[in-house]
């Protein structure tokens, strides 16, 4: 009896949110790298149906057994979606991985695809059935409401985004170390200027590692003092000058600004959302032009990326 209780306690501990059964291997590799299998067990692949095939378009985070957190710009009312959980390789049907249909998409009522820089790039996907939690499928934790990470706080972005600007999409889940850039720095004219808002998080900008096409909607994972990983950010946008441009860090939706909204959607008390925006198959997306002072910018290879389907994550910068 005692042995059974001990085993139950160990299993419950392993399945608590933000504590992977298989902890991530956090090396000092510059750029991105293959993630340890199932070490980010809340990471999902958001896929849409096209010509009889399912295609990866964005990432997401499993935050309840029937709810996935992602970016609003990933969602189009004209598409049919599913999520894949517990997966390391997108091309392989792995033991323990599951595929679940999306029954409902709810985007933030203040999201406007023509005003990406205003933020509110957040959406929740309700799954058609609850996902059983295992050693390979676990929940991501939300940070406490209002949490602001300090400058240079270490986080990790994960996803199946492009390995470099206009490059190939990886088959294996990637992870990349990013340092948080605080709002005071990121909002300076030589960085993102007034484009970033306090409902966003900047991370990266070193010209080495960033998010890019295919990572959109995925998590910015940051570890709390107690060892628990929390989903502090949702990949939102970057510079069209490249997956990673010097002093143009990846920009994420700040999850801690939306705890109340997330709770209201999950409990059914949210404001009725308007019709889902998003690019249909033939819709041309807007171009955002920013003007900043002339400065030395260095573009380098990146290892992680955002949505490959032309979603409006990239901002055009004129220098």
Give the separation between CA 148 and CA 254, rounded to whole angstroms: 9
For 72, the token pair is 């609003």
Residue 214 CB-density burial (10 A; 0-12 exposed, 13-18 middle, 19+ buried)? buried
Q: Which is the catalytic residue, given 56, 73, 108, 232?
A: 73
The closest alpha carbon to 186, from 252, 231, 265, belongs to: 252
Cα angle for residues 109, 123, 58 (degrees, 5° grid): 140
Give the separation between CA 313 and CA 34, rounded to whole angstroms: 24
- Is 78 noted as a catalytic residue in this protein? no
Contact present, 151 and 185 (Cβ < 8 Å): yes
- Is 171 noted as a catalytic residue in this protein? no
For 257, the token pair is 């600004």
| Strand partners for 227 | none
Residue appearing with tokens 């948080």: 180
The closest alpha carbon to 305, from 207, 247, 221, 238, belongs to: 238
Give the separation between CA 207 and CA 302, rounded to whole angstroms: 8
Assign 59 to helix, strand or coil.
Answer: strand
Residues ≥6 apart with Cβ < 8 Å to 25: 36, 39
- Is 216 noted as a catalytic residue in this protein? yes
Contact present, 250 and 176 (Cβ < 8 Å): no
Q: Which is the catalytic residue, given 39, 76, 211, 216?
A: 216
Give the separation between CA 51 and CA 108, rounded to whole angstroms: 29
C-alpha distance from residue 266 to each of 73, 207, 263 (Å): 20, 38, 5
User: Which residues are catalytic, by number?
Assistant: 73, 121, 216
């Amino acid at each position: 009896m005692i042995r059974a209780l001990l085993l139950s306690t160990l299993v419950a501990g392993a399945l608590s949110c933000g504590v992977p059964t298989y902890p991530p291997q956090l090396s000092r590799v510059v750029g991105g790298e293959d993630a340890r299998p199932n070490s980010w067990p809340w990471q999902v692949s958001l896929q849409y149906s096209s010509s009889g095939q399912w295609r990866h378009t964005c990432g997401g985070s499993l935050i309840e057994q029937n709810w996935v957190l992602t970016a609003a710009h990933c969602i189009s009312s004209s598409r049919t979606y599913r999520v894949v959980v517990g997966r390391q390789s997108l091309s392989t049907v792995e033991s323990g991985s599951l595929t679940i249909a999306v029954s409902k998409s709810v985007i933030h009522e203040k999201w406007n695809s023509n005003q990406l820089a205003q933020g509110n790039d957040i959406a929740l996907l309700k799954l058609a059935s609850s996902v059983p939690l295992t050693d390979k499928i676990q929940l991501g934790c939300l940070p406490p409401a209002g949490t602001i990470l300090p400058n240079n706080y270490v986080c990790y972005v994960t996803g199946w985004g492009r390995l470099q600007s206009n490059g190939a999409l990886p088959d294996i889940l990637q992870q990349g170390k990013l340092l948080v850039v605080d709002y005071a720095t990121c909002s300076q004219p030589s960085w993102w200027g007034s484009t970033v808002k306090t409902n966003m998080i900047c991370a990266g900008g070193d010209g080495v590692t960033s998010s890019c096409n295919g990572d959109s909607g995925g998590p910015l994972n940051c570890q709390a003092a107690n060892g628990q990983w929390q989903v502090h950010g949702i990949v939102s946008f970057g510079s069209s000058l490249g997956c990673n441009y010097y002093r143009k860090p990846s920009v994420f939706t700040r999850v801690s600004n939306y705890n109340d909204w997330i709770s209201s959607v999950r409990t059914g008390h949210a404001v009725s959302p308007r019709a889902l925006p998003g690019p249909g198959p033939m819709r041309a997306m807007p171009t955002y032009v920013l003007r900043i002072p002339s400065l030395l910018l260095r573009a380098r290879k990146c290892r992680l990326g955002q949505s490959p389907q032309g979603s409006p994550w990239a901002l055009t910068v004129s220098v």
